[in-house]
Every structure is written in structure tokens, then in C-alpha cells.
């Protein structure tokens, strides 16, 4: 019986922490940037598309290089509980860059993945 009360007290404490220790923090927007992208292999049939706020496509040269312009991205909200980020709502984590091969999407990237 005593163990049941201890487990119940722990569950109530976790529920209170989740209820009152969780906030939604607004992330700053990102400024407009330019990236130099280098694709390896046969790059004659590749392209890159930026899908925010309007769709812009960039051709890849025969050497596999291109410069893409990413416009400013708006702010977002992240869910934080006791200092630990549970969800990442920052604009740098939005997948707004598509790598195309023969017109179909091969990979979707965020600005954070592009920086890596």
C-alpha cells in the first residue's frame, strides 16, 4: 500500500512539472543568406530548389557547384521543459531546401543540415 502511494506521488510530481515547468519559447528568425553548394558525381541532371516563401530553382554547373540564396525565414516556437528543448521550432530546422535529380526530390535539407 505504501509503494502505491509513493508511485502515485511520483506521477503527480511529474505531471506538475510537465504542466508548470513547460514553456513555449519564441526563436528569432534567420537573416537572408547565401550558400555555396558543391555536389559530387555527375551533376548535369541535378538542381536545387528553395521553397520559402516562393519557390526558386538554381541550376548546378558541370563542375557541381552552385550558389543559392535563402531568404529570411520567420520566427518559430520551441517547447522547453525545465531547460531541456523538447521540440525545435527554430527557422534553421525547417526543411526548405530540396536537392533535385531529373526533376524529382532526392533529399530535403534544413539550413542547419546545410551548415554541417
Identify which has the larger pLDDT, 17 or 2.
Answer: 2
**pTM of whole model > 0.85?**
no
Grade residue 108 by pLDDT with cuts at 50, 70 and 90: very high
Cα separation, 103 vs 65, in Å, equals 18
pLDDT tens across 55-85, in order? 999 988 888 889 999 999 888 888 887 778 8
Which residue, among 10, 100, 98, 39, has the nearest Cα to 110 in the 3D structure? 98
Amino acid at each position: 500500500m505504501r509503494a502505491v502511494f509513493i508511485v502515485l506521488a511520483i506521477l503527480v510530481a511529474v505531471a506538475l512539472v510537465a504542466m508548470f515547468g513547460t514553456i513555449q519559447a519564441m526563436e528569432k528568425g534567420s537573416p537572408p543568406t547565401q550558400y555555396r553548394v558543391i555536389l559530387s558525381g555527375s551533376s548535369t541532371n541535378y538542381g536545387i530548389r528553395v521553397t520559402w516563401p516562393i519557390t526558386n530553382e538554381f541550376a548546378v554547373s558541370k563542375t557541381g557547384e552552385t550558389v543559392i540564396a535563402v531568404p529570411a525565414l520567420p520566427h518559430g516556437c520551441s517547447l522547453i521543459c525545465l531547460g531541456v528543448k523538447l521540440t525545435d521550432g527554430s527557422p534553421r530546422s525547417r526543411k526548405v531546401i530540396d536537392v533535385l535529380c531529373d526533376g524529382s526530390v532526392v533529399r530535403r535539407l534544413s539550413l542547419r543540415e546545410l551548415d554541417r
